[in-house]
Amino acid sequence: MQSAQKQGLFLTFEGLDGSGKTTQLRLLGEFLDSWNLPWISVRQPGGTSIGDKIRALLLDSKSAGMAPMTELAMMFADRAQVIQEIIAPALAAGKIVVCDRFTDSTEAYQGGGRQLGSEIVLDLHSRLCGNLQPDLTILLLPPIEKSLARARRRNTTTQAQTGRDEGRFEAEQDAFFRRVEAKFREIAHREHFRVESLDGDLHISEVAARIQKRVELLLREKGHLSQGN
């Protein structure tokens, strides 16, 4: 029997800078394509034309004097825009939305890293984002030293190649990232049904296989894949 309008599916990826999200997002995209599923991807901050301007302000090293509350407000300004412009319509049309960072990043970076706390982040998420929750969040947690070395290397290369300076967060001290990581772990513990943590020094292919297994289960549960495929 043909089912009624399929529910959209909202997947988010989280982790420290340099945690391997980009590679895993690409591999998940190839996996979804292999099933011919309708999916889109967005990233935060950015992903809309208004969001790209917010991103430039947020990530530029020259924005060094930005107050933590300003930073928090801009992350949510960006998110409110991308939800209205892209995420909500795609979910309403029954699509799969894969998002590179969402409110867990704000809780980890601004709540944890900048020490603004979780409460204000969760409150703003509820007020400004309709408390939209992902169906599944993949949290990548390779050893912190590896992530940071990769992120700092990458930013230097990007800047040399494109002239774009997106290094404001990568320039933070290790203590900042330890607080971010601790908050990610706290979120994973609190939201253990939603968050799948991939912890430790795992090979790319092993991480990809675990993500695919979990996503496939969810796709079957929500009717995006039927018995026959």
Based on CB atoms, which residue is closest to ligand TYD, 31 or 169?
Answer: 169
Q: How far is the CB of 135 from ligand TYD (least distance, A)?
A: 18
Based on CB atoms, which residue is closest to ligand TYD, 41 or 106?
Answer: 106
**CA dihedral angle for residue 93, residue 22, residue 159, residue 142, rounded to 10 degrees:** 140
Q: How far is the CB of 183 from ligand TYD (least distance, A)?
A: 11
Based on CB atoms, which residue is closest to ligand TYD, 8 or 112?
Answer: 112
Nearest-angstrom CA–CA distance, 110 and 104: 10
Based on CB atoms, which residue is closest to ligand TYD, 41 or 44?
Answer: 44
**Under 8 Å between Cβ of 72 and 120:** yes
Classify each residue of 177-213 as buried b or exposed e, where b means 16 or more C-beta atoms within 10 Å of its C-beta.
bebbbebbbebbeeeeebbbbbeeebeeeebbeebbe
Q: How far is the CB of 199 from ligand TYD (least distance, A)?
A: 18
Q: How far is the CB of 44 from ligand TYD (least distance, A)?
A: 4
Based on CB atoms, which residue is closest to ligand TYD, 37 or 202?
Answer: 202
**If phi over 0 gives left and psi between -120 and 50 gives alpha, with beta otherwise, what is residue 101?**
left
Residues of this chain that interact with ligand TYD (CB under 6 A) are 17, 21, 43-45, 59, 75, 100-101, 105-106, 109-110, 166, 169
**33 Cβ contact partners less than 8 Å away, ≥ 6 residues apart:** none
Q: How far is the CB of 102 from ligand TYD (least distance, A)?
A: 7
